[in-house]
Amino acid sequence: MALPHWVTAFAVKTPTLPPAVATNLYLVTDGSEGVLIDAGYSDPEALRPLIDHVLERNLRITGILLTHHHPDHAAGAGYLSEHWDCPVHVHPADAEAVHKYVPGTRLAPDLREGTVHGVGGVKLVAVETPGHTPGHVSFWESNDGILFTGDAVLGAGTTWIGPPDGHLGTYLDTLRKLLTLPAQAAGPAHGPIIEDPSSRIRYYLSHRLEREEQILALLASHPRRVADLLACIYEGQIPAATRWVAERTILGHLVKLEEDGRVIRTSGSAPVKPIRNLVWTNEELERWIHHTMFSLVR
């Protein structure tokens, strides 16, 4: 299925997580005004085709809507908002992290559940979809049934959910919430248009639950660290450069399993305090990955 006439996708080269090499930006327009979903990286050359497209059609851009704060989505917002003289909208929970890219006067931390941004007859409704980051937002257009999913659902592969930004339990709730929307197609931030969003979302749910079962089975034989689990689950399958993603993905599962009361930490970490109160500094993360033992609650 092609996208409706009111939206144009721009795959902009960004330093994102492999295998993706680009971020999709979506320009929603009625032919005279427009809003942009996500802003790519701060790289004027990569943004040039988009800027030329807007200039050639004499479009007035009224706002930039960010799905979340990660640099391959938000870092270009400062440059573009200056260029077009428009505000940048973001969920309040991700606003602080966007401040470094966008000066305070341009940043509008007002994207909450149900916020509507309209262009002509097209209404984009913000849907809070936390999990990848605390303030991740998707956008829903109900006339054509188009969902813009940011990093919540991708066109290829799965999205990474892990500390410090990600929270798996929250993310699984988000996927179940997205299943309630009658989406005909989804525009992800990475990869091709998703033709059958609900089957992709169901695949994401089953993939996470399978991984969870695999971790529980490994812990059933004896306590293990994240690094041990990684060796069992992924060894030889992941390049060194993305090992940190795999480590934090497994840690994300263990955090959820602890919250579910199925796993406990038995040694190696600082005082055992409720996992929700933790601040994930890089040093903390290293300790969690290489020293903390996790065991099954029996």
Is 72 tagged catalytic? Answer: yes
Backbone φ and ψ for 249, nearest 5 degrees, come out as -65, -45
Residue 141 is a binding residue for Zn ion (CB under 5 A): no
How near is the Cβ of 73 to Zn ion at its closest, in Å? 6
Backbone CA torsion sign across 209, 190, 245, 288: negative
Of the candidate residues 94, 128, 141, 151, the single one contacting Zn ion (CB under 5 A) = 151
Which region among 52-60, 78-86, 113-121, 147-155 touches Zn ion (by CB under 5 A)?
147-155
Which of 70, 190, 253, 256 is the binder for Zn ion (CB under 5 A)?
Answer: 70
Question: Based on CB atoms, which residue is closest to Zn ion, 70 or 89?
Answer: 70
Q: Which of 256, 261, 24, 236 is nearest to 161 (CA)?
A: 256
CB-neighbour burial class of residue 32 (10 A; exposed 0-12, middle 13-18, buried 19+): exposed
Closer of 34 and 78 to Zn ion (Cβ): 78
What's the CA gap between 224 and 118, in Å, rounded? Answer: 51
Catalytic choice (30, 43, 52, 72): 72
Stretch that binds Zn ion, among 7-15, 68-76, 120-128, 281-289 (CB under 5 A): 68-76
Phi, psi angle pair for 203, to nearest 5° = -65, -45
Residue that is written with structure tokens 């009111």 in the block: 6
Q: State the residue for tokens 């809070």.
A: 128
Query: Near Zn ion by CB under 5 A, which window of 28-36, 70-78, 81-89, 172-180?
Result: 70-78
Write out the residues near Zn ion by the rule CB under 5 A: 70, 151
Active site positions, annotated:
72
